[in-house]
Amino acid sequence: MESKDAPRWGSWSSSYFVGAASSFLSTVLTFPIYKTIFRQQLHTLTIRAATRQLGKEGVRHLYRGLAPPLMAKTVQGTLLFGAQGSLQHLFSTGGTPGAKSRALSGCLSGAIEAVLLVPFERVQNILQDGRNNVHFPNARSIVQEFQTYNKRDWLSCGMYRGFSIILVRNMVGSAIFLSCKEPLRDLLTYPGLPAWAPSLGSGAVNGAFTSLVLYPLSVILANMQAEVSNQLPHVRKVAQRVWMKCGGRVSLLYRGASLIILRSCITWGATNCIHDTLSKQLL
């Protein structure tokens, strides 16, 4: 007889399947929203102006840059639900994961995720900037450009430009999300609610909060990674330039935050809901 605690699949197999499926669907659904947010961050535009800019470029360019995040999300799903689960089990005392072990495992899985996914995000951000449509029509042309750099610049200015920002963002974001995921779900569980509703609400609220907290880092990263150059500006200088572009106003810095809430609610709500539903069947 099988042990009640034994997973029907291997932990990595089930985590990979759950992460890949939920991330693929949510990425396709929310990509136009994300692209609009990216244009707002890059050019300090209103939602209407960013939407008008994308409309002028046409439908065929709307999903330009989708391939890198689709591939990245597959890896991200494995790391978020696989590596984090393994690390959490390692750090747990007495077999029961606590807040400290969830936060620590989230930080480490976020760091691993950053190391593996920076090149995908770098290529994606270049492709999403309309100023690069002609000179860099596809991901291959971007990689070929980076190959003209010397070895040191290929990393710091090419594929891994903005790595330090992504490392901090992913570690903090993963720690927050994974620490609050289960407590929020339990808090939102009420008699009579569908089984999937607490997971959906937990993912939506948690994802939106995490994204809002880290939004300034995303703005700086968008401005840093969209540029194709073998000259690497200091993070502080990029932050100062972004702040000046916003006229020193927090409201302009957070322009696009409303779409961040919408995208994060859909993305993490769906991801969390699918993950918890499939986990009950596969684990």
On whether residue 3 sits in a domain, the answer given is no
What CATH number has the domain bearing residue 256?
A: 1.50.40.10
- What was the pLDDT predicted at 2? 38
Asked if residue 241 belongs to a domain, the reply is yes
142 part of a folded domain:
yes
**Euclidean distance between the first and final Cα of the chain, in Å?**
16
Residue at 5 is within a domain: no
Q: pTM higher than 0.75 for the full model?
A: yes
- The count of structural domains within the chain is 1
Residue bearing the bigger pLDDT, 175 or 71:
175
Inside any domain, residue 2: no
Position 4 in a domain: no
Give per-residue pLDDT as tens, 209-234.
Answer: 999 999 999 989 988 888 888 887 78
What domain range includes position 192? 11-282
DSSP classification of residue 96 = B
Residue 185: which residues within 8 A CB-CB, separation 6 or more?
198, 199, 201, 202, 272, 276
Give the span between the Cα atoms of 276 and 114, in whole angstroms.
Answer: 24
Q: What is the structure's pLDDT at 8?
A: 46
Q: DSSP secondary structure string, 179-243?
A: HHHHHHHHHT--TTS-TTHHHHHHHHHHHHHHHHHTHHHHHHHHHHHS---S----HHHHHHHHH
